[in-house]
Amino acid sequence: MYLDFYGFVENPFNITSDPSFLYLSQTHKNAFDHLLFGINERKGFILLTGEIGAGKTTLCKALLYHLPQTTKTSFVFNSNLPEGQLFEAILGDFGILPKRRNKISFLKQLNSFLLHELSLGNNAALIIDEAQNLRASTLEFIRMLSNFETEKEKLIQIVLSGQPELRDKLEAANLSQLKQRISVRSHLSALTVSDVGQYIDYRIWKAQPSKSVVFTPDAVDLIYTYSGGIPRLINIACDKALLCGFVLDTTVIDHAVAQRSIEELSGISHPAMV
């Protein structure tokens, strides 16, 4: 592997959603601030959308580390779960042992948990990732959770995070009540070309190379064009470029190295590089 060649402690361009590598570009910072504001100010429903691979899951995971200890959290990664298992997962994250597998029991247990937390001065946040996969009936049921409130405040803040089709889903007539209740919204857009350079430098720095590893500005331009500023695609291109650099025995990823790696990714083979 190329990790030893560059002396990296970690893989700089892993495609897992690792929040310790979070780079706060303007769009990520803006979305992150909206999420924190919505939860801390008890705004009820909060919507986070973004293109595939834009950083939604990474941002939601980072959020868990930034919320105050007094905010109890439940993070649903798998929105494809059948309803019963979804409810169990939510209760389980909040540290509640489910009594029965039905909606009424779920609502009762959740309500008494939320009231108890409120009496302690605590807040609660439910973060549902990949929310574009939720069935309309599940979304409608989740809307009912926001009815847990006192005269003054919401007992549970619910973040719906998903790809742009989530917004389309919420436009459907049968979900208009939910749509109306969303008070905080943000959208992760693609990174700008200058962000891409800083994003690459940041991830390399985090991986602690023992040598100087450089992506030249024209290599960054190529990676920007290839990726359209989408972080997952940037990672894939950079990972390939570092592999090419290793094969060519260089720690400088210049235009030629970046071009070869992108051509390889696009299926154009270079015998010398295989």
Ligand X SMILES: Nc1ncnc2c1ncn2[C@@H]1O[C@H](COP(=O)(O)OP(=O)(O)OP(=O)(O)O)[C@@H](O)[C@H]1O
CB closer to Mg ion, 47 vs 213: 47
> Can residue 163 be called a binding residue for Mg ion (CB under 5 A)?
no
* Nearest-angstrom CA–CA distance, 21 and 234: 14
CB closer to ligand X, 55 vs 245: 55
With beta carbons less than 8 A apart as the criterion, state whether 254 and 244 touch. Answer: no
Question: Cα dist. 148→18, 52, 89, 167 in Å?
Answer: 33, 32, 19, 24
Minimum CB distance to Mg ion, residue 16 (Å): 11
Applying CB under 5 A, the span of 44-52, 56-64, 142-150, 252-260 interacting with Mg ion comes to: 56-64
With beta carbons less than 8 A apart as the criterion, state whether 116 and 148 touch. Answer: no
> Can residue 57 be called a binding residue for Mg ion (CB under 5 A)?
yes
Minimum CB distance to ligand X, residue 243 (Å): 17
* Nearest-angstrom CA–CA distance, 237 and 231: 10
Q: Is 212 helix (H, G, I), strand (E, B) or coil?
A: coil
CB closer to Mg ion, 78 vs 177: 78
CB closer to ligand X, 42 vs 232: 232
Minimum CB distance to ligand X, residue 134 (Å): 14
Secondary structure (H, E, C), 7-65: CCCCCCCCCCCCHHHCCCCHHHHHHHHHHHHHHHCCCCEEEEEECCCCCHHHHHHHHHH
CB closer to ligand X, 163 vs 259: 163
Minimum CB distance to ligand X, residue 80 (Å): 13
Residue ranges binding ligand X (CB under 6 A): 14-18, 21-23, 25, 28, 50, 52-58, 163, 231-232, 235
Footprint of Mg ion (CB under 5 A): 56-57
